[in-house]
């Protein structure tokens, strides 16, 4: 079977159960002690971690996560501040629109759910900035519910152990979702543990570049390993370049605005990148994404909006959502 072939959703109960026990037992022994896994993190801590961990390694997330929860221990605490403060506190985690989306989710939680992260999957999915993966992850990790949680690590584990290919498709497919549901334990608590365990296995053992099959608790069952570890022959895997891209320019512009105590003149922003066309395009993109507010006289600042609970006036900005 090649990497371009969709994984079969047909998985026998016996095959599923054979994977569950060893992977969960491995997780019990080897899981990292991460702050969002501790009981005191609560649903809000889990949600914050899920936003931050998207496309960002744990080592970079940890210090920002700790600072974020110390400053904003509840959704209402974040919602009461301007969205620009979320962008500022996001620092150099990358993909800063996640900060605006998390702020928008905090506002919605405060206004719709009395400040408590909702338990129901449909309510989570209805929050701004929450997609299929994040809703399932919060419901599973925060509330112990039974949901298929498909991140990159889990998809890679399933591709290798069950489908027999080195890498999953570039984008999540319907066949992968069917497979994930077929592999899901029936019991809610076991399903939630399986979701966390399969994710950790992909992060620590069944890694993208250097899978450590000698440490894998299901190496003897892995279809890819048993097939002789056939090389990936599907579409090329997407790389993530950074140097010289608009992303780099946007990051440099945001760094100046994050460090500033007030609005920043255009002339100061012009010093961060020599190429004027790319610099202007990056700045326009930041404004279009709501990450930067243009003011009169060529000044720019992080978005202010109107914090939730603050009376609005005719001249007040609209809250971020």
Residue positions annotated with a catalytic role = 50
Per-position b or e across 143-181, b if 16+ CB within 10 A of its CB: bebbbbbbbbbbbbbbbbbbbbbbbbbeebeebbebbbe
Structure tokens at 163: 């489908």
List Cα–Cα distances, 102 to 71, 74, 122, 288, in angstroms: 14, 12, 17, 18
Residue pair 151/129 in contact by the 8 Å Cβ criterion:
no
d(CA 42, CA 189) in angstroms, rounded, equals 17
- Helix (H) or strand (E) holding 294, with range, is strand 293-294
Closest CA to 42 of 16, 77, 7, 8: 77
Hey, what are 309's tokens?
Answer: 């609970």
Q: For the chain, where are the alpha helices, taking DSSP H only?
A: 13-30, 42-53, 58-71, 75-79, 83-90, 97-112, 121-125, 132-143, 152-158, 174-183, 188-204, 223-226, 246-259, 266-269, 276-288
Handedness of CA 294, 129, 86, 309 (dihedral sign): positive
| Long-range contacts of 32-39, Cβ-Cβ distance < 8 Å, separation of 24 or more | 32/58, 32/200, 32/204, 34/58, 34/62, 35/62, 35/65, 35/66, 35/69, 36/65, 36/141, 37/141, 37/196
């Amino acid at each position: 079977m090649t990497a371009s072939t969709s994984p079969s959703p047909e998985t026998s109960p016996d095959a599923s159960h054979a994977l569950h026990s060893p992977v969960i037992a491995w997780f019990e022994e080897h899981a990292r002690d991460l702050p969002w896994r501790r009981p005191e993190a609560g649903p809000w801590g889990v949600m914050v971690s899920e936003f931050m961990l998207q496309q960002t390694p744990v080592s970079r997330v940890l210090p920002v996560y700790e600072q974020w929860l110390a400053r904003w221990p509840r959704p209402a605490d974040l919602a009461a501040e301007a969205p620009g403060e979320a962008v500022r506190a996001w620092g150099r985690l990358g993909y800063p629109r996640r900060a605006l989306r998390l702020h928008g989710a905090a506002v919605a939680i405060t206004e719709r759910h009395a400040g408590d992260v909702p338990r129901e999957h449909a309510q989570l999915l209805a929050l701004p900035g929450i997609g299929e993966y994040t809703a399932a992850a919060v419901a599973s990790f925060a509330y112990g519910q039974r949901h298929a949680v498909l991140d990159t690590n889990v998809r890679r584990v399933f591709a290798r152990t069950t489908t027999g290919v080195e890498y999953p498709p570039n984008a999540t497919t319907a066949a992968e979702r069917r497979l994930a549901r077929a592999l899901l334990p029936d019991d809610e608590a076991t399903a939630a543990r399986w979701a966390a365990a399969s994710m950790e296995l992909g992060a620590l053992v069944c890694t993208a570049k250097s899978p450590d099959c000698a440490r894998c608790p299901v190496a003897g069952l892995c279809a890819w390993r048993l097939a002789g570890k056939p090389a990936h022959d599907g579409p090329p895997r997407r790389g993530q370049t950074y140097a010289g891209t608009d992303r780099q320019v946007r990051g440099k512009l945001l760094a100046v605005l994050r460090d500033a105590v007030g609005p920043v003149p255009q002339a100061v922003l012009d010093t961060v990148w020599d190429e004027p066309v790319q610099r202007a395009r990056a700045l326009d993109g930041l404004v279009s994404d709501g990450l930067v507010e243009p003011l009169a006289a060529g000044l720019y600042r992080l978005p202010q909006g109107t914090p939730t609970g603050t009376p609005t006036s005719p001249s007040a900005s609209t809250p971020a959502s």
